[in-house]
Structure 1
């Protein structure tokens, strides 16, 4: 009796696992401006059902260097609660600060080959500057979803393992016209999508 029950349970479990596997997949998004020109370094986020289980991690380093008196990368996507490293690779000293609501902070002057860190517990966009070099601008987008990334030179980003169904898509860019530099819309979380945004 128990053998037959176990066999029946296995038969039931197999299609269920296949159904789960088929319910996730990649979503490819292209961001363009009003003229159809691809927008680079736009942050794309998907708020999908079941997407926040466990700790959120991304494959890229949680680091923003200062190199040639610029932030590198210029835009960084991090999960809420992440600690970001700020290595100074320049010969000059830097002093990083932000007045953005999600993270108001200031890091005192530090020199070449030194690193400072800061933790970002609140989701949102953080604009960075340097007290010594006014022309330096960097951006950290703190997200609360594992389905996030920034667009490449052709305006594309691919988000992996997204559960199928309706999802809220949010696009952020420092020059985007809209509250907080972002726009949102509901989409079907599968296949390819093109989003047109208005830039300043």
Structure 2
């Protein structure tokens, strides 16, 4: 399980923004890959994201399937289905069980350790979801084109980590050191299971 050598190029621009594209071995975009950029000088102030830390259950699925949250975030789990759900994680970073609860009810869970937590439902075995806990404000997940845009990066050296639940690598993630310069545009080719 390994990351192939970056497939493309590093382009400088006048802004300190990053556009990262993740593709598989065939060059097809990889949706919901989490990209984290940690500047060499650290993240700075406490990490906050503009999106709500919520993972709903709707149509017997976790929505969104992958959620990116800051270390220490409390995630809401609203049940938007007509059936009851029970949520669990046996992941190293978060071991918990939330007992059965019904429609229009919400339960919460705090995530204090960085990494990935795989979620399941004790009642519906096919339900899978993921919470990726990060300690950098420079993080996001790829869209349907395999692209994530991250803005406001400081220049200099940084570490880029790519995580996806099907990435063939230890802990389903890979990291690389890059130079941000005035901006970053990069395509990564990854191997998936």
The verdict on a shared fold, with TM-score over 0.5 as the criterion, is: yes
Q: In the alignment, what sits opposite 1:80?
A: 71
Verify: 1:168 aligned to 2:159, yes or no. yes
Residue number in structure 2 paired with 1:56: 47
1:197 aligns with 2:190: yes
Structure (1 or 2) with the larger CA radius of gyration? 1
How far apart in 1 are the matches of 2:117 and 2:130? 6
Residues 83-162 of structure 1 mapped to structure 2, 5 A cutoff:
83-162=74-153
How many residues get paired?
179
Point out the structure with the larger helix share. Answer: 1
Give the structure-1-normalised TM-score.
Answer: 0.87
**What is the rounded CA distance, in whole Å, between the counterparts of 2:82 and 2:99 in structure 1?**
16
Q: Taking CA–CA contacts closer than 8 Å with sequence separation of 6 or more, which of the two structures ends up with the larger relative contact order? A: 2
Aligned counterparts of 1:170 and 1:35: Cα–Cα separation in 2: 21
Aligned-CA RMSD value: 1.4
Give the drift of 1:24. 6.4
Q: Give TM-score scaled by structure 2 length.
A: 0.90
Kept in 1: contact 2:40–2:159 (CA 8 A) = no
Judged with a 3 Å threshold, the aligned counterparts in structure 2 of structure 1 residues 144 and 23 are, in CA distance, closer, same or farther, namely: farther
Give the whole-Å Cα distance in 1 for the aligned partners of 2:43 and 2:118: 25
